Amino acid sequence: MSNLKVTLYKELELKISTQVEGISFDPLIFKYLDLGGRYQEDIHICFEHAYETHAGIKFPVGFLSPHGLKFNLRWDRRSSYSLILEKGTYHLAHHGEPIFPVEFLDRPEYYAEKTSDGTNMANIAVYAREGALAVAYSNECALKEKDHDCKFCNINATKDTYGDVEGIGWKYPKQVGETVAAAYKNGARHLTITGGFVAERREVEYYLDVADAIKEHTGLEDFNGTACVGAPHDLSIIDKYKEAGYRTIATNIEIWDKNIFKALCPGKELQCGGWEHWVKALEYEVEVFGRGRVRSNIVAGLEPKDSTLEGVEYLASKGVIATATSWNPNPGSALEGHRSPEPAWHYDLFKKIAAIYRKYGFTYEQIYDCTANPTSIYQDIYRIEDERLPVFKAKVA
């Protein structure tokens, strides 16, 4: 392995550690940062990822490591990792000792624009980096009404904390169409439509209207969209998303172990047909959308690693790209105060998942097209192995 790849893997390990353990900082250090001007601010679309809430105080969305990996910023004042400001330069530090200087992520141009009804486009579609957008049409989940929301999820608490302060609410199809058109003009090329469940599962009507609005405003028939949806009772509804023009679809199973799923996802179990139905829906989605065009996420750390890997492998064998995101026990979720497994546990899991993707022939582009987070660890592994990062070109030049 080249020295550059060894260095990148070291940075990747750090990225995982700071995702799992968070980063401590005094919010006042951002006082002189051009946040919301040159640099992209964090906007809450579905979940608060910081360990504590910080309503009214803006944080940068993330930063670049010296060799070009994108780190997100998860605030946790208990962490041994920190961001410090020394002589005008921000550094990632460990136990107070600087590791490397960081460069915060640029703000996309469309964040400064407004829709025709005067809404900030930044509040309609969040820029997830690498040309990918995320639209959370609804910032709440109707499963809460019966106390059936997933135990690791803080979507409703996040809405309660930030909805008014950040001006985040329901997004209308025209607003989404205009925002996507503006972002695509600036180079964006993928979007995910997601959100919590709405009452009576009326999501499909909304997704179809949004697809029409995006096509109208961008002029694109294939706008490279992912519809992130719950498993519908009537599986034929899945055909409608495909007909509407979504290139990919995502249905998140969250947990592979059936019994843990039952305990931690009571709404998906009691109101949406249960674990077997979710798996059936994913298999049907592959029939409609094709292999490598369906995604399902598992929250990593809620069940034994072998169970998650069994799920990723089973789903991959059926043509589903099963992703895993490190579980962060966040404020407002029923599991607030619990601990995620250690960073090394997550790193090992991600390496094994990337190997499963290779085994089943999933390409970088397929993973990009069906996931909402283009800077995930397994995509970083592809970027390092296939030498896709700009730093490799710089080396050749």
Binding site for ligand SF4 (CB under 6 A): 141, 143, 149-150, 153, 155, 196-197
Query: What's the closest the beta carbon of residue 72 comes to ligand SF4, in angstroms?
Result: 19
Supply 106's token pair.
Answer: 């640029």
CA 87, 93, 98, 100 dihedral sign is negative
What pairs with residue 339 in β-bridges? Answer: none
CB 392 within 8 A of CB 4: yes
What pairs with residue 326 in β-bridges? Answer: 300
Nearer to ligand SF4, 131 or 232 (CB): 232
Nearer to ligand SF4, 149 or 203 (CB): 149
Query: What's the closest the beta carbon of residue 277 comes to ligand SF4, in angstroms?
Result: 14
Return d(Cα 214, Cα 228) in angstroms, integer. Answer: 16
Query: What's the closest the beta carbon of residue 153 comes to ligand SF4, in angstroms?
Result: 3
Nearer to ligand SF4, 147 or 221 (CB): 147
Query: What's the closest the beta carbon of residue 140 comes to ligand SF4, in angstroms?
Result: 8
Nearer to ligand SF4, 14 or 253 (CB): 253
**Helix H or strand E encompassing 190:** strand 190-195
H helices present in 46-202, as ranges: 155-162, 173-185
Considering only CA atoms, which of 268, 236, 239, 263 is closest in space to residue 252?
268
Query: What's the closest the beta carbon of residue 313 comes to ligand SF4, in angstroms?
Result: 23
Query: What's the closest the beta carbon of residue 15 comes to ligand SF4, in angstroms?
Result: 24
Considering only CA atoms, which of 14, 74, 70, 83 is closest in space to residue 44?
74
Query: What's the closest the beta carbon of residue 175 comes to ligand SF4, in angstroms?
Result: 21
Considering only CA atoms, which of 75, 39, 207, 68 is closest in space to residue 138?
207
Nearer to ligand SF4, 153 or 356 (CB): 153
Nearer to ligand SF4, 149 or 178 (CB): 149
Supply 389's token pair.
Answer: 């990062």
CB 270 within 8 A of CB 148: yes
Nearer to ligand SF4, 143 or 384 (CB): 143
- 369-252-55-57 Cα dihedral, nearest 10 degrees: -30
